[in-house]
Amino acid sequence: MSSELEQVIAAIWGMPKSSDNPFAHPAFVRLVDYCKATYPNAGSKLWLTLALSDALRSLGMHFREVPAGLIRTLSPAAAAEALHLAFTAPMSRRVHLCPLDWAENPPELAFGRNRMRRFSEKELMDLAEADRIQRASPLTSVDWKRLSRFHWLIVEEDILLTAEPGARALPIMYKPLRRDLGAFLPHEGRFPAAVEEALFLMLLAPWENWAEAPDVDWRGFRVPWIYTADRDLFVRMQAPPQDASLTWQPVAFTDVYGEIHEEEQPAHYTLADEVSGLPTVVNQSLWEDWLIARQTSLLAAPVAHFLVRAFLSDRIDEFLAHLMVVEASLGLKADYGPKAKGNLHNNLRPTDRMVRRITKLLCDPIAGEEYRRLFDVRSSYVHGRQMGEVSSADLKGARALARRTALRLVEVAARGAAATNRDAYLMSLLD
């Protein structure tokens, strides 16, 4: 990094805060020109200007007046070093902070680059880059102490930096102008892929068996939102996380003097003591199995997608998503197509084929017949047949069947040649 960049940043720091068009100020123009001349990946001047504006906010530079005492601007030397690194670093790190709302006290987990536990106030601040949040959003306060009272899933991933700064700051502006604005990828998740992958593994644990009140909710936790702290200076920062968006409940207690006090505590579902066995299910070994399984044709279907969809849904949408996990796992297009000549299973209807595969995969004939019954409930809803309530027992049964099928499929795919040809393996389950 040259000393010239530090001088340019120092001039930026001295800009008046009341400028009508800060981008036209000589100091800012000089910064844009310096970056264009110095960094091959600077890109077009228009989008570079906007990317630099976002980066400068993260470094503590605001072009409008901010109340005294709220700004913590980096020194010109530190800011210049950070900006130089943003242009030249080959990789960046993203840290996804996922609050586990309603989690009681699950044991700690660690698998891959994912961790689940309680984090201290300082740990959360470091993970979320609290200093950068304060520099970029000085008028917004974050109560990290209250946030630290919740359990968190932390997911980290490294991102290869190949795009120019403008594309990292405003990716939508780099998409084709003539495109279907309403088009979407059907299996795109609500959360980033790395987060949904971590949630998928956590959902392979039998939470429905550990829930003390499964008729209320089988889940051991909820994930209402995530906060992504991207170490890339050019990526536009999200709104800071707020504890008020999580679930609190008032709790009264009596002190040693007999006085009654009331405070707020994180709300939680009640789980059985058996939840202590969570690390025996979700661990590094399962993660390594998944890394193998996801490369096979057996997991080419969107099994993980539907299992996470069910977790993030409620009521009938959740019920349907659970059954889609089973269909994605064990269904074949050939089940509904023309009958193959000489095939011994031509007489089996699609539902019978699914029942037989479930029975064989799980070594459990009861599970196969349970799927038949639940599929009939699903068909009544889809086809508008007269039906009553969908019971909590049916919802729990659909969840258990989806989880068991997905878990067994991961195990099979990770351990044998059966996963090399999905169609052949699933047809063999009919024998």
CA dist 156 and 115 (Å) reads 9
Q: Mean pLDDT throughout 59-74?
A: 76
3-state secondary structure 111-143: ECCEEEEECCHHHHHHHHCHHHHHHHCCCCCCC
pLDDT in tens, 346-383: 678 889 999 999 999 999 999 999 999 999 999 999 99
Does 29 have pLDDT greater than 90?
Answer: yes
Q: Mean pLDDT throughout 216-230?
A: 96
Q: What is the pLDDT of residue 243?
A: 93
**Cα separation values, 387 from 180, 316, 381, 390, 391, Å:** 39, 13, 7, 8, 11
CA dist 225 and 241 (Å) reads 9
Length of the chain: 431
Could you tell me the pTM of the whole model?
0.93
End-to-end CA distance of the chain: 68
Secondary structure letter of residue 18 according to DSSP? T
Q: What is the pLDDT of residue 258?
A: 77
**Cα separation values, 82 from 62, 77, 78, Å:** 17, 9, 6
Q: How far is CA 99 from the centre of its chain?
A: 11
Least confident segment among 173-182, 264-273, 297-306: 173-182
Least confident segment among 18-27, 92-101, 119-128: 18-27
- pLDDT-derived band at 19, boundaries 50, 70, 90: low
Least confident segment among 70-84, 247-261, 337-351: 337-351
Q: Helix-strand-coil percent breakdown of the chain, rounded to 5? A: 50, 10, 40
